[in-house]
Amino acid sequence: MNQLTLERPSAAAADAVRRRPRLGFLGVGWIGRHRMEAIAADGAAEVAALCDPEEQAFESALRNAPRAARAASFDALLEQPLDGIVIATPSALHAGQAEAALARGMAVFCQKPLGCTAIECRRVVSAARAADRLLAVDLSYRQTAAMRCIRRAVAAGEIGEVYAVDLVFHNAYGPDKPWFRDPQRSGGGCVIDLGIHLVDLALWTLGFPRVHQVESRLWAGGRALAPRPEVVEDHALAQLDMDGGAVARLACSWNLHAGRDAVIEASFHGTRGGVRLCNCGGSFYDFRAERFKGTRSILLAEPPDDWGGRAPVAWARRLAAGSGFDPEVERVVDVAAVLDAIYGR
């Protein structure tokens, strides 16, 4: 009679069945709650603890995570037995909170910006590298199916050599939280809020060429601002000259009379064609991608596309798989350096 031999599970098999990472969520307003719900729905990690000073935000989040503990403060959250933390607080707090979590051995998923300056971003990235902890930043428009199609088309050389990029993000409403307009808490206005996505999409799509010159103009309430302004800007124009000869032109704003809720576009012009991302009907969430050849247009992607939670879910899955520091996050420092140049700092 044949005997069945039972082998001891390998280390890889043991890793595959270990417990889900326990996550804390710092800031559970609309964005933080949405990221929490996406991770919970995916099941890659456990929503273990919540922290938010606003009772209404906490109660709304708790309805979708009834077993989560409540931490009365950030320091109390750090005392929880957590594997990672998701940060969605005012921008000026991000760098310090991320560093503190990394120092406790926690992985970090942070809303953009990771820091208000390139120096702050570099400091957090260095902390993640030293701790060998997974750090990611929610530059979420990379996750749209439309933008992924555009990046693939550019990388494959389908439009030839890219020489010009046009980037637009106009929000007809502007932010609804007072801290966005406080430069000490926000780090800036529409550039750090919206323009960061445009700069990231341009550099990410083109393979992160070096930006060797930046020219910009900022306005607040229709009045031009001097470099290092003491108020946040609500309209900005910038031009980025990149190695290889490509030039990117950027426009972003809050409260613009745009005739719709939002105008969001990223167009890449090449020697053999072009590609464009654009939002549909003024939507903040629905995008299509097109490839242009002369007067012809080819549809590459269109709604529906449930992309909003992809970045945090991908981070949670990698954390569950045991991933440590990923050098790709160093690219956030390149993006922050361009924002510094736009602000003249």
Pairwise CA distance, residues 46 & 33, whole Å: 14
Domain span at residue 282?
145-306
Pairwise CA distance, residues 245 & 62, whole Å: 51
- Could you report how far apart the first and last alpha carbons of the chain are, in Å? 79
Instruction: Tell me, yes or no, whether 127 and 200 share the same domain.
Output: no
Label the pairing between strands 287-293 and 296-301.
antiparallel
Pairwise CA distance, residues 25 & 101, whole Å: 12
Instruction: Tell me, yes or no, whether 125 and 196 share the same domain.
Output: no
What confidence category does residue 18 fall into, taking pLDDT thresholds of 50, 70 and 90?
Answer: low
Residue keyed to tokens 């103009």? 217
**Amino acid letter at 200?**
D
Q: Which residue has the higher pLDDT, 13 or 126?
A: 126
Query: Is the Cβ–Cβ distance between 113 and 88 less than 8 Å?
Result: no
What domain count does the chain have?
2
Instruction: Tell me, yes or no, whether 172 and 132 share the same domain.
Output: no
Query: Is the Cβ–Cβ distance between 139 and 311 less than 8 Å?
Result: yes
Instruction: Tell me, yes or no, whether 171 and 264 share the same domain.
Output: yes
Phi, psi of 282 (to 5 degrees): 80, 10
Pairwise CA distance, residues 296 & 69, whole Å: 56
What confidence category does residue 11 fall into, taking pLDDT thresholds of 50, 70 and 90?
Answer: very low
Percent helix / strand / coil, the chain, rounded to 5: 35, 25, 35
CA distances from 175 to 155, 194, 255, 264 (A): 34, 11, 9, 16
* 75 is a domain residue: yes
CATH number, domain of 207, equals: 3.30.360.10
Helices then strands (H, E): number in the chain? 12, 15
Instruction: Tell me, yes or no, whether 205 and 286 share the same domain.
Output: yes
pLDDT for the residue 291 = 98
* 167 is a domain residue: yes
Instruction: Tell me, yes or no, whether 153 and 115 share the same domain.
Output: no
Instruction: Tell me, yes or no, whether 92 and 169 share the same domain.
Output: no
* 8 is a domain residue: no
Instruction: Tell me, yes or no, whether 150 and 264 share the same domain.
Output: yes
* Overall average pLDDT of the 44-48 stretch: 96
Question: 10 Å Cβ neighbour count for 333?
Answer: 20
Model pTM score = 0.92
pLDDT for the residue 37 = 96
Q: Is 61's pLDDT higher than 90?
A: yes
Instruction: Tell me, yes or no, whether 194 and 210 share the same domain.
Output: yes
CATH number, domain of 54, equals: 3.40.50.720
pLDDT for the residue 329 = 98
Instruction: Tell me, yes or no, whether 108 and 226 share the same domain.
Output: no
Question: pLDDT > 90: what percent of the chain?
Answer: 91
What confidence category does residue 230 fall into, taking pLDDT thresholds of 50, 70 and 90?
Answer: confident
Instruction: Tell me, yes or no, whether 159 and 122 share the same domain.
Output: no
**Amino acid letter at 277?**
L
pLDDT for the residue 19 = 75
Instruction: Tell me, yes or no, whether 25 and 109 share the same domain.
Output: yes
Sign of the alpha-carbon torsion through 65, 14, 326, 305: negative
